[in-house]
Amino acid sequence: MLNIVSISKVFNKGTVNEKKALSGLSLRLDDGDFATIVGSNGAGKSTLFNAIAGSFYVDSGYIELDGNDITYEKEHRRSRYIGRLFQDPLQGSAPHMTIEENLAIAYLRASRDKKPLSRITAAEREKFREQLSLLGMGLEDRMKNPVGLLSGGQRQALTLLMATMVTPRILLLDEHTAALDPATAAKVLDLTKAIVAERHITCLMVTHNMSQALEMGNRTLMMDGGRIVFDVKGEERSKMSVNDLLKKFEQNTGGALDNDRILLSTEEGV
């Protein structure tokens, strides 16, 4: 369970570049919730993820995960139980290291009964191979290859596996398919849905695709000005169209959504 209470964050406070990135934001996710987030650039989506992951400390409010206060826990400690994927496929893995070495680092970092510098056993290596085979990309036969030789889609699928090999307490997906071609993006999304459902992972996913925001997971959030302006789930969500979502945004903020990328994806259905 994730419980965020009234968190705020201001960057460059007291200067001409002062920016209020989060403004009294509160959010509660129950175990197994899969919430999609949509909003314009600067709405605070990635900043929210950075606050959860510990990239910085919030100015006020607090963050709890499974009943533990993690507000001031360091980022490297949170990375042991928070999985995260970024929009850029080049983030999240080491290009000059092999697929096996990348998996080993992720596995050792997240394992509760292993030390970071432990050796990988033959049984664990076989587990890596089995997990890779589930991706359906033939990576199980390329474990000794450098990650830098992989395509963007292969690398993002590998990073997804790295983030979930040891089931995280929460998974943060920051437009993790946006840089991929449509066919590859669809495959990575299918893998995402399968892994999240199978492991019953609590998940937050940022997307610019409004249809995707209503179809993926069980809950949709809209952000604006560093706060959540709309939160819908259940029967109400199942009956909503993209136009309904846009109208709700306008009703709750007093202005229309003005992100061209989001509106274009709505018109084209991509």
Looking only at the bridges linking them, the beta strands covering 34-39 and 219-224 are parallel
Looking only at the bridges linking them, the beta strands covering 2-11 and 60-65 are antiparallel
Is residue 226 helix, strand or coil?
coil
DSSP 18: -
Q: Tell me how far apart the alpha carbons of residues 87 and 80 are, in angstroms, rounded to a whole number.
A: 21
pLDDT per position as a tens digit, 159-189: 999 999 999 999 999 999 998 988 889 999 9
Q: Is the Cα dihedral 178, 180, 181, 185 positive or negative?
A: negative
Map 116-157 to HEC letters.
CCCCCCHHHHHHHHHHHHCCCCCHHHCCCCEHHHCCHHHHHH
Q: Tell me how far apart the alpha carbons of residues 160 and 147 are, in angstroms, rounded to a whole number.
A: 14
Domain range summary for the chain, segments of one domain joined by +: 2-94+165-268
Structure tokens at 29: 């996710």
Nearest by Cα to 269 from 185, 161, 153, 172: 185
Q: Is the Cα dihedral 167, 6, 258, 215 positive or negative?
A: positive
> Stretch 205-228: mean pLDDT, rounded?
94
Q: In what order do the strands lie in the sheet with 170-174?
A: 82-85, 170-174, 203-206, 34-39, 219-224, 227-233
Contact present, 132 and 99 (Cβ < 8 Å): yes
Mean pLDDT of the chain: 91
pLDDT band at 256 (very low <50, low <70, confident <90, very high): confident
**At the top level of CATH, which class does the domain 2-94+165-268 belong to?**
alpha beta
Strands (E), 151-255: 170-174, 203-206, 219-224, 227-233
Q: Tell me how far apart the alpha carbons of residues 172 and 161 are, in angstroms, rounded to a whole number.
A: 13
Residue 254 reports pLDDT greater than 90: no
pLDDT per position as a tens digit, 144-154: 999 999 999 99
pLDDT at 3 (0 to 100): 98
Q: Tell me how far apart the alpha carbons of residues 52 and 63 are, in angstroms, rounded to a whole number.
A: 7
pLDDT per position as a tens digit, 22-79: 999 999 999 999 999 999 888 999 999 999 999 999 999 999 999 999 999 999 999 9
**pTM score, whole prediction:** 0.91
